[in-house]
Amino acid sequence: MAEVSNALIYIHGFRSSPLSEKSRAFKKLFPELILATYDTLHPHIGFQQLDEIVSDALPRKPILIGSSLGGFWAYQFAKRYALKCVLLNPCMTPEVTLRPDIGLVTNMYTGEQGMLDESDLRRYEQYRFSGEPDACVVLHEKGDELIPYQESVSHFEGEAKLVLIEDGSHSFEHIEVAAQEIKQLLQNAQ
């Protein structure tokens, strides 16, 4: 029986989409990459959508890549299903980080609008799963203007491979560094 290669799933952040520059850059580097589409405003809907995508890929032991809010989701699903994950400038406390966005929210890439309210933020707590990821690599750019890199240090130091990168921004500018970490996980999985 032929060896099945790992699936790669990219989970974008809040107010983003598979149309983002980062999504396109990763798709160019990894043509088989699955770009997840999910509701970033309503965690109960987003969870169901992402769970379906991840569950469908489980036979191929997916490696989850998540940016910002997508980092939260990638980490939680990696814990839930004992998968590998790569987190880029992850938002590990969306109920705090997204609080300034309560109200009308516009997606930066699609222009779609929707409402984020307090009840949405309170739902994140129910999606913090127990268990451990099979492997976790966290890359955080010190220039991130939205989520201070110290949050990744406090959440992941001693728990995951933590790579702090000088400069950068919340957009995550060092795609090539992330790509090397993803390739390393793929090689280790074979």
Pairing of strands 135-141, 113-116: unpaired
Q: What is the pLDDT of residue 188?
A: 84
User: Does residue 170 lie within any of the structural domains?
Assistant: yes
d(CA 49, CA 23): 18
- pLDDT per residue, tens digit, the chain (190 aa), is 334 488 999 999 999 999 999 999 999 999 999 999 999 999 999 999 999 999 999 999 999 999 999 999 999 999 999 999 999 999 999 999 999 999 999 999 999 999 999 999 999 999 999 999 999 999 999 999 999 999 999 999 999 999 999 999 999 999 999 999 999 999 887 6
Q: What is the pLDDT of residue 190?
A: 63
User: Does residue 17 lie within any of the structural domains?
Assistant: yes
Structural domain boundaries enclosing 74: 8-189
User: Does residue 123 lie within any of the structural domains?
Assistant: yes
Q: What is the pLDDT of residue 5?
A: 83
Domain count, the chain: 1
User: Does residue 2 lie within any of the structural domains?
Assistant: no
Helices (H), the chain: 21-29, 43-57, 69-81, 94-97, 118-123, 149-156, 175-189
- Taken in order 90, 92, 93, 98, is the CA torsion positive or negative? positive
Task: Look up the CATH number of the domain holding residue 139.
Answer: 3.40.50.1820
Q: What is the DSSP letter of 167?
A: S
User: Does residue 135 lie within any of the structural domains?
Assistant: yes
Q: What is the pLDDT of residue 73?
A: 98
CB 169 within 8 A of CB 144: yes
User: Does residue 1 lie within any of the structural domains?
Assistant: no
Residue 51 is encoded by which pair of tokens?
């769970």
CB neighbour list of residue 156: distance below 8 Å, 6 or more residues apart: 136, 138, 162
User: Does residue 3 lie within any of the structural domains?
Assistant: no
pTM summary value: 0.95
User: Does residue 30 lie within any of the structural domains?
Assistant: yes
